[in-house]
Structure 1
Amino acid sequence: MLYLFGFDRIGVAVSDIYFVDPNPLKGQEGAERGVRLELRRLESGELKGSIYSSRPIGIDRPIWRVDLLESVTGAPGSFDRTHHHPGLKGWEPGRRVFDEQLSAEPLKWLGERLADLEGVLDECGVGRDEAGPDDVAGLRERAPEIVETVARLLETVRATHPSAPDGAESATSVRASWL
């Protein structure tokens, strides 16, 4: 499942994810699942036909990533693998950053961060000029709706059987997700 919230030049993409890290940190071995959220650059393309034609939409590089993950063998609601990536280089995430507040109250933490786009951009080392005033205002206004969407998707993930995707039972590296 993929959700996309688009503003002016910034979008928020949300997807379920099943992941097996091929090089896990100590204590982070084994499959994990949950919800991934990425702040992405958006591009509105030129019309390809008449004024009635559909507009191409480009969903470009990520700026920030939040992984609300739990180990598949752990207790639902543990958020034992929950982290974020404030630094991305191109398409590659930086190291996992574990934050006590994020793990303790992930949806509250997420809502506060989404409502502060300029603070997130500062933390990521990205210029505030990446986002326009409509992005800042739109994201602040829609943050509760995005958090609600993330919460519903987390419930859906937890309600499904935690088995690996088809053919991935013995794999040492798996990623099943839009993001």
Structure 2
Amino acid sequence: MKDVVTVLYLFGFERIGVAVSDIYFVDPNPEKGQEGAERGVRLELRRLEPGELKGSIYSARPITVERPIWRVDLLESVTGTPGSFDRTHHHPGIKGWEPGRRVFDKELSKEPLKWLGARLADLEGVLDEAGVDRDEASPADVTGLRDRTPEIVETVARLLDTIRAESPNAPEGAESATSVRASWL
């Protein structure tokens, strides 16, 4: 089997960014019913920090993709039916760098792209649910994310299609591994 090449998309606004990546995952301590490899798309709201220019006004600007605020995993079991979204969940709360528990939502699994679009268009609601102060985001973040939500959802849809077309898309050695994470996120 070949090595998996993962991709990272980043949509940046003023202080908030949306990072999207494909993921192949084997949990070393799965909950009952969550055993076996998963694959799909992970999306995280992240804090962005622009750095100071390192040279002239024409120099590239350093950008730091900081801590996660909220996560959605549009996952399916590798051995399951493509399009089932049988492992799809979200993490409404993140402490530091660690996600909270997996939250399974029937609407998220039923119509994941519609659910995702509604959540992204309501940044303030997501921040409230995550227990994050609304001051973490600026008005430009709220407007920018709402305006770019269709483009972000379209990117997620394309990436899901790509993952399914590359089935099974497992990293080398993943078949016998008890813990695997191939992803930017």
TM-score normalised per structure 1? 0.99
1:40 corresponds to which residue? Answer: 46
- The answer to whether the 8 Å contact 2:20/2:43 transfers is yes
Q: Please say which of residues 155-164 and 77-86 is displaced more in the overlay.
A: 155-164
Partner amino acid, structure 2, of 1:117 = L
Q: Which residue of 2 aligns with 1:12?
A: 18
Unmatched 5+ residue regions in structure 2?
1-6
Shift of 1:163: 4.6
Question: Which residue of the other structure, out of 1, 20, 24, is the alignment partner of 2:30?
Answer: 24
Q: Which amino acid aligns with 1:132?
A: S
Q: Which residue of 1 aligns with 2:97?
A: 91
Which whole-Å deviations, capped at 9, do the CAs of 1:3-61 have from their partners, x for residues lacking one? Answer: 00000000000000000011111111000000000000000100000000000001000
Does the CA contact (< 8 Å) of 2:163 and 2:169 recur in 1?
A: no
Could you give the per-residue CA deviations for residues 82-139 of structure 1, whole angstroms, max 9, x where no partner exists?
0000110100001000001000000000000000000000000000000000000000
Question: Which letter maps to 2:142?
Answer: V
- Residue equivalent to 2:182: 176
1:119 aligns with 2:125: yes
Instruction: Tell me the residue number matched to 2:153.
Output: 147
Q: Flag the 1:51–1:163 CA change in 2: closer, same or farther, 3 A.
A: closer
Measured in 2, the distance between the counterparts of 1:168 and 1:109 equals 31
Amino acid at match of 1:142: R
> SS at the partner of 1:169?
helix
Distance in 1, Cα, partners of 2:137 & 2:28: 34
Q: Distance between the aligned counterparts of 1:167 and 1:73, measured in 2?
A: 16
Distance 2:65 2:32 in 1: 34
Q: Does residue 77 of structure 1 match 2:98?
A: no
- Percent identical: 85
RMSD of aligned Cα (Å): 0.6
Alpha-carbon deviation of 1:161?
2.2
Q: How many residues align?
A: 179
Q: Which runs of 4+ in 1 moved over 4 A?
A: none
* Aligned pairs for 1:44-83 within 5 A: 44-83=50-89
Measure, in 2, the Cα distance between the counterparts of 1:77 and 1:65.
Answer: 20
Distance 1:162 1:173 in 2: 17
Give the TM-score of the pair, scaled to structure 2. Answer: 0.96
CA contact (8 A) 2:54 2:60 kept: yes
Equivalents in 1 of 2:146, 2:79: separation in Å? Answer: 35
Q: Structure 1: how far apart are the matches of 2:167 and 2:148?
A: 31
